[in-house]
Amino acid sequence: MKPPPCEKPDPFLCRVDAIPDGEARGFPLPGEHHPRAVLIVRQGHEIYGYRNRCPHQGTPLDWTPDRFFNLEKTHLQCATHGAQFQIEDGHCVAGPCLDKTLERVPLRIKDEKIHLDIAHETQKP
């Protein structure tokens, strides 16, 4: 008899209310060294997840832990050369990587808990 498939639970990141409205937090990803390999942004009831990796040169966006925004908090901002990204889709609207986008991270939100959606991630070609 064939053993059941090994199913890993999707990694739990945090509760929704652990990220204040209008703020962002960084989290590690399994198998990656950077302690904030992914960033999660909360805007009201919307939650967005991106790789913490600038499309310009691949550096983390935050200049100090969990500081992902420009001063006005209207855009995500790269600490290295100042590229600015729309919060809702990660599209770069200013800076050296204009028109590129942050890599979105699939999330699953259930019972006010945010998980990485690994099942969705493995369905990618």
Q: Which is nearer to ligand FES, 13 or 83 (CB)?
A: 83
Distance CA 23, CA 121 (A): 25
Q: Which is nearer to ligand FES, 49 or 60 (CB)?
A: 60
Q: How far is the CB of 56 from ligand FES (least distance, A)?
A: 3
Q: How far is the CB of 107 from ligand FES (least distance, A)?
A: 23
C-alpha distances in Å from residue 108, one per residue of 2, 12, 29, 73, 121: 29, 9, 15, 25, 11
Residues that bind ligand FES (CB under 6 A): 54, 56-57, 59, 78, 80-81, 83, 95-97
- Tell me, what DSSP letter sits at residue 16? G
Q: Which is nearer to ligand FES, 43 or 59 (CB)?
A: 59
Q: Which is nearer to ligand FES, 13 or 92 (CB)?
A: 92
User: Locate tokens 């966006």: which residue?
Assistant: 61
Q: How far is the CB of 96 from ligand FES (least distance, A)?
A: 5
Q: How far is the CB of 124 from ligand FES (least distance, A)?
A: 24
Distance CA 7, CA 91 (A): 33
